[in-house]
Amino acid sequence: MTIHLGELFESESGDKKIRSALLKALKENHQEGFDYLKFKKALQQLKEMGLDEETAFKSAFATASTMGLTKSKLKKSSDHYLNVLKKEQRVFAEALGNQILTKIDAKKNKTESYQKEIEVCKNKIEELKRTIDLLEQKISQVDSEVEKDRDRIEKTKEDFNRSFSEIFESIEKDVSLINQHL
Protein backbone atom coordinates (compact mmCIF):
# COMPACT_ATOMS: atom_id res chain seq x y z
CA MET A 1 0.00 0.00 0.00
CA THR A 2 1.51 3.30 -1.11
CA ILE A 3 0.93 6.09 1.36
CA HIS A 4 0.89 9.71 0.23
CA LEU A 5 1.28 11.65 3.47
CA GLY A 6 0.07 14.85 1.80
CA GLU A 7 -3.29 13.16 1.20
CA LEU A 8 -3.30 11.55 4.64
CA PHE A 9 -2.81 14.89 6.39
CA GLU A 10 -4.51 17.27 3.95
CA SER A 11 -4.79 20.95 4.75
CA GLU A 12 -5.27 24.18 2.85
CA SER A 13 -3.80 26.36 5.60
CA GLY A 14 -0.23 26.85 6.72
CA ASP A 15 3.01 27.11 4.84
CA LYS A 16 3.35 24.34 2.24
CA LYS A 17 7.14 24.22 2.60
CA ILE A 18 6.93 23.73 6.37
CA ARG A 19 4.13 21.19 6.02
CA SER A 20 6.19 19.35 3.41
CA ALA A 21 9.21 19.29 5.75
CA LEU A 22 7.11 17.86 8.59
CA LEU A 23 5.62 15.21 6.33
CA LYS A 24 9.11 14.41 4.98
CA ALA A 25 10.30 13.82 8.55
CA LEU A 26 7.38 11.41 9.08
CA LYS A 27 8.21 9.64 5.82
CA GLU A 28 11.93 9.40 6.65
CA ASN A 29 11.04 7.83 9.99
CA HIS A 30 8.53 5.40 8.49
CA GLN A 31 8.23 2.13 10.36
CA GLU A 32 8.24 -1.27 8.75
CA GLY A 33 5.13 -3.41 8.74
CA PHE A 34 1.58 -2.37 9.36
CA ASP A 35 2.04 0.79 11.42
CA TYR A 36 -0.04 3.83 12.37
CA LEU A 37 0.32 5.44 8.93
CA LYS A 38 -0.91 2.34 7.13
CA PHE A 39 -3.74 2.05 9.66
CA LYS A 40 -4.67 5.72 9.05
CA LYS A 41 -4.59 5.12 5.27
CA ALA A 42 -6.85 2.06 5.60
CA LEU A 43 -9.16 4.04 7.89
CA GLN A 44 -9.31 6.87 5.36
CA GLN A 45 -10.19 4.47 2.56
CA LEU A 46 -12.97 2.88 4.60
CA LYS A 47 -14.42 6.30 5.47
CA GLU A 48 -14.31 7.23 1.77
CA MET A 49 -16.41 4.13 1.14
CA GLY A 50 -19.05 5.61 3.41
CA LEU A 51 -18.45 3.66 6.58
CA ASP A 52 -19.16 5.47 9.81
CA GLU A 53 -16.17 6.24 12.02
CA GLU A 54 -16.59 3.44 14.55
CA THR A 55 -17.18 0.78 11.91
CA ALA A 56 -14.26 2.09 9.87
CA PHE A 57 -11.97 1.94 12.92
CA LYS A 58 -13.07 -1.57 13.82
CA SER A 59 -12.82 -2.82 10.23
CA ALA A 60 -9.38 -1.31 9.69
CA PHE A 61 -8.17 -2.75 12.96
CA ALA A 62 -9.67 -6.16 12.28
CA THR A 63 -7.85 -6.32 8.95
CA ALA A 64 -4.61 -5.01 10.43
CA SER A 65 -4.76 -7.47 13.32
CA THR A 66 -4.52 -10.31 10.80
CA MET A 67 -1.10 -8.85 9.96
CA GLY A 68 -0.02 -8.86 13.58
CA LEU A 69 -1.10 -5.35 14.60
CA THR A 70 -2.28 -5.00 18.17
CA LYS A 71 -3.74 -1.98 19.91
CA SER A 72 -0.49 -1.66 21.84
CA LYS A 73 1.60 -1.75 18.65
CA LEU A 74 -0.71 0.80 17.04
CA LYS A 75 -0.39 3.15 20.00
CA LYS A 76 3.38 2.65 20.08
CA SER A 77 3.56 3.45 16.38
CA SER A 78 1.44 6.60 16.72
CA ASP A 79 3.66 7.65 19.66
CA HIS A 80 6.68 7.16 17.41
CA TYR A 81 5.27 9.60 14.84
CA LEU A 82 4.29 12.10 17.54
CA ASN A 83 7.88 11.94 18.80
CA VAL A 84 9.18 12.53 15.28
CA LEU A 85 7.04 15.67 15.10
CA LYS A 86 8.18 16.79 18.55
CA LYS A 87 11.80 16.38 17.46
CA GLU A 88 11.09 18.53 14.40
CA GLN A 89 9.52 21.11 16.70
CA ARG A 90 12.68 21.18 18.84
CA VAL A 91 14.90 21.51 15.77
CA PHE A 92 12.69 24.33 14.49
CA ALA A 93 12.77 26.13 17.84
CA GLU A 94 16.56 25.93 17.90
CA ALA A 95 16.84 27.23 14.34
CA LEU A 96 14.36 29.99 15.16
CA GLY A 97 16.45 30.99 18.17
CA ASN A 98 19.57 31.11 16.00
CA GLN A 99 17.76 33.26 13.45
CA ILE A 100 16.71 35.66 16.18
CA LEU A 101 20.31 35.86 17.42
CA THR A 102 21.83 36.41 14.01
CA LYS A 103 19.18 38.50 12.35
CA ILE A 104 17.72 40.55 15.18
CA ASP A 105 19.96 40.66 18.23
CA ALA A 106 23.14 41.20 16.25
CA LYS A 107 21.48 44.00 14.31
CA LYS A 108 20.13 45.54 17.50
CA ASN A 109 23.69 45.56 18.82
CA LYS A 110 24.78 47.28 15.62
CA THR A 111 22.07 49.90 16.14
CA GLU A 112 23.19 50.55 19.72
CA SER A 113 26.78 50.88 18.56
CA TYR A 114 25.81 53.34 15.82
CA GLN A 115 23.81 55.42 18.30
CA LYS A 116 26.81 55.70 20.64
CA GLU A 117 28.99 56.73 17.75
CA ILE A 118 26.45 59.38 16.78
CA GLU A 119 26.70 60.90 20.26
CA VAL A 120 30.46 61.11 19.97
CA CYS A 121 30.20 62.70 16.52
CA LYS A 122 27.63 65.28 17.68
CA ASN A 123 30.21 66.59 20.16
CA LYS A 124 32.76 67.09 17.37
CA ILE A 125 33.01 70.05 15.11
CA GLU A 126 30.82 70.70 12.06
CA GLU A 127 32.98 68.65 9.64
CA LEU A 128 31.74 65.47 11.34
CA LYS A 129 28.16 66.27 10.36
CA ARG A 130 28.46 64.15 7.19
CA THR A 131 29.55 61.13 9.28
CA ILE A 132 26.54 61.53 11.54
CA ASP A 133 24.13 61.69 8.58
CA LEU A 134 25.64 58.52 7.11
CA LEU A 135 25.32 56.64 10.39
CA GLU A 136 21.70 57.74 10.81
CA GLN A 137 20.93 56.31 7.39
CA LYS A 138 22.55 53.00 8.43
CA ILE A 139 20.42 52.90 11.58
CA SER A 140 17.28 53.45 9.57
CA GLN A 141 18.28 50.73 7.15
CA VAL A 142 19.13 48.26 9.94
CA ASP A 143 15.88 49.04 11.77
CA SER A 144 13.97 48.44 8.55
CA GLU A 145 15.79 45.11 8.06
CA VAL A 146 15.09 44.13 11.67
CA GLU A 147 11.37 44.76 11.20
CA LYS A 148 11.29 42.82 7.94
CA ASP A 149 13.25 39.93 9.48
CA ARG A 150 11.07 39.94 12.59
CA ASP A 151 7.89 39.85 10.50
CA ARG A 152 9.29 37.05 8.32
CA ILE A 153 10.42 35.02 11.32
CA GLU A 154 7.10 35.54 13.11
CA LYS A 155 5.17 34.45 10.00
CA THR A 156 7.37 31.36 9.69
CA LYS A 157 6.80 30.61 13.37
CA GLU A 158 3.03 30.99 12.99
CA ASP A 159 3.01 28.85 9.83
CA PHE A 160 5.06 26.14 11.56
CA ASN A 161 2.85 26.18 14.67
CA ARG A 162 -0.31 26.01 12.55
CA SER A 163 1.01 23.10 10.44
CA PHE A 164 2.46 21.33 13.47
CA SER A 165 -0.78 21.71 15.45
CA GLU A 166 -2.92 20.38 12.64
CA ILE A 167 -0.83 17.26 12.13
CA PHE A 168 -0.24 16.74 15.85
CA GLU A 169 -3.94 17.19 16.68
CA SER A 170 -4.89 14.84 13.85
CA ILE A 171 -2.69 12.12 15.29
CA GLU A 172 -3.88 12.84 18.84
CA LYS A 173 -7.50 12.62 17.65
CA ASP A 174 -6.76 9.30 16.02
CA VAL A 175 -5.12 8.04 19.22
CA SER A 176 -8.22 9.11 21.13
CA LEU A 177 -10.43 7.36 18.61
CA ILE A 178 -8.22 4.27 18.76
CA ASN A 179 -8.71 4.25 22.52
CA GLN A 180 -12.43 4.87 22.13
CA HIS A 181 -13.16 2.34 19.42
CA LEU A 182 -10.60 -0.38 19.91
Q: Which candidate, 169, 113, 102, places its Cα nearest to that of 138?
A: 113
What pTM was estimated for this model as a whole? 0.66
Q: Are 80 and 42 in contact (CB under 8 A)?
A: no
Angstrom CA distances, 94 to 98, 108, 150, 164, stand at 6, 20, 16, 15
The pLDDT, as a whole number, for residue 104 is 86
C-alpha span between 154 and 123 (Å, rounded) = 39
The pLDDT, as a whole number, for residue 6 is 79
pLDDT by residue, tens only, the chain of 182 residues: 567 787 778 777 778 888 889 989 999 999 888 899 999 999 999 999 999 999 999 999 999 999 999 999 999 999 999 999 999 999 999 999 888 888 888 788 888 999 988 888 877 777 767 888 899 999 999 999 999 999 998 998 999 999 999 999 999 998 998 889 88
Q: Are 82 and 171 in contact (CB under 8 A)?
A: yes
The pLDDT, as a whole number, for residue 128 is 67
Cβ neighbours of residue 56 closer than 8 Å, sequence gap 6 or more: 43, 46, 47
